[in-house]
């Protein structure tokens, strides 16, 4: 098991909104992966890794260090002038950077993960055919395995088919996979299916390291819960700070960063009611304050 059960693991998929709204960094097409090709960008990535590792040291939580590659697929990178060959290089260089950072802090439990995004808009249904998904995402997954990443993490998926394809491609490449669906305010996926249906389809077709939910507020995620056995398959929640819908978030000119302490408390309570949850973290609108609060509350560390 890559994510050992002796601790809670903290993940962060909100770096892009933090960069744009809190630090004034321009990310054309919302893509962070070009930072790997910039001196200042690499420095920022190292700084984030240092800060996450410090949270792990303070709280005892494990820290998942994700590469900034959520947009690094052929469809979404093409407008930025990146070829498939470029994307393989970027993925591998991002892994090398994070491996270097982790090696400096062996006293903290870390895992290096290559972040994978949907082929298209994560708030749309996405790919429905598992075979097409496996073929499409396979190059990035193989690049992750070849670079020595501990795992891949596919976030913000709106259809079970794309999720199954990614999980199967990861299994073929011999690398563990975290697979995260996103839900709307009603607790359903973008394709209209119930979260329970998507989780059961994925669990029935593959055996990923963890099945998760991301890019939704805890209030929206619990709308999907019905007390069914499928909830025991859910191993992670990487939540938005905001209670706004995806459409509202897309239209925002200012960042809704919610309440870090409240978010930490909500996720800690969800972990108590759903003991299978071993990955918690922050997505859109979250920053290092939220991550520290989440890690602190689930680890029982005083403020």
Looking at every residue in the chain, the average pLDDT score rounds to 95
- Beta carbons of 261 and 192 less than 8 angstroms apart: no
pLDDT in tens, 64-118: 999 999 999 999 999 999 999 999 999 999 999 999 999 999 999 999 999 999 9
Binned at pLDDT 50, 70 and 90, residue 124 comes out as confident
The closest alpha carbon to 205, from 133, 259, 300, belongs to 133
Within 10 A of 13 (CB to CB), how many other CB atoms are there? 25
pTM of the model: 0.95
pLDDT range class, residue 242, cuts 50, 70, 90:
confident
Split at pLDDT 50, 70, 90, the class of 136 is very high
CATH topology for 9-299 is TIM Barrel (3.20.20)
* Closest to 164 in 3D by CA, of 189, 131, 187: 131
Domain ranges in the chain are 9-299
Question: 227 or 1, which is more confident?
Answer: 227
Structural contact between residues 77 and 71, judged by C-beta atoms closer than 8 angstroms: yes
């Amino acid at each position: 098991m890559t994510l050992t059960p002796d601790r809670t693991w903290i993940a962060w998929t909100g770096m892009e909104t933090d960069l744009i709204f809190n630090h004034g960094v321009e990310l054309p097409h919302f893509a962070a992966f070009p930072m790997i090709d910039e001196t200042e960008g690499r420095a920022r990535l190292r700084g984030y890794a240092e800060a996450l590792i410090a949270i792990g040291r303070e709280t005892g939580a494990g820290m998942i260090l994700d590469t900034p590659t959520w947009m690094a697929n052929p469809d979404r990178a093409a407008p930025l002038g990146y070829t498939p060959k470029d994307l393989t290089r970027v993925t591998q260089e991002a892994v090398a950077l994070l491996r270097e950072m982790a090696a400096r802090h062996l006293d903290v439990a870390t895992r290096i993960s290559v972040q994978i995004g949907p082929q298209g808009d994560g708030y749309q249904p996405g790919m429905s055919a598992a075979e097409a998904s496996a073929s499409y995402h396979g190059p990035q997954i193989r690049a992750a395995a070849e670079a020595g990443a501990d795992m891949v993490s596919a976030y913000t998926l709106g259809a079970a088919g794309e999720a199954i394809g990614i999980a199967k491609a990861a299994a073929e490449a011999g690398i563990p996979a975290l697979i995260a669906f996103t839900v709307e305010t009603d607790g359903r996926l973008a394709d209209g299916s119930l979260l329970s249906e998507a989780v059961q389809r994925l669990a029935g077709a593959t055996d990923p390291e963890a099945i998760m939910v991301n890019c939704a507020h805890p209030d929206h995620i619990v709308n999907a819960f019905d007390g069914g056995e499928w909830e025991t398959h859910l191993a992670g929640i990487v939540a938005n700070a905001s209670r706004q819908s995806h459409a509202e978030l897309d239209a925002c000119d200012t960042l809704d960063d919610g309440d870090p302490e409240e978010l930490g408390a909500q996720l800690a309570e969800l972990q108590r009611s759903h003991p299978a949850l071993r990955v918690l973290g922050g997505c859109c609108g979250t920053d290092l304050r939220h991550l520290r609060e989440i890690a602190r509350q689930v680890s029982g560390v005083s403020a």
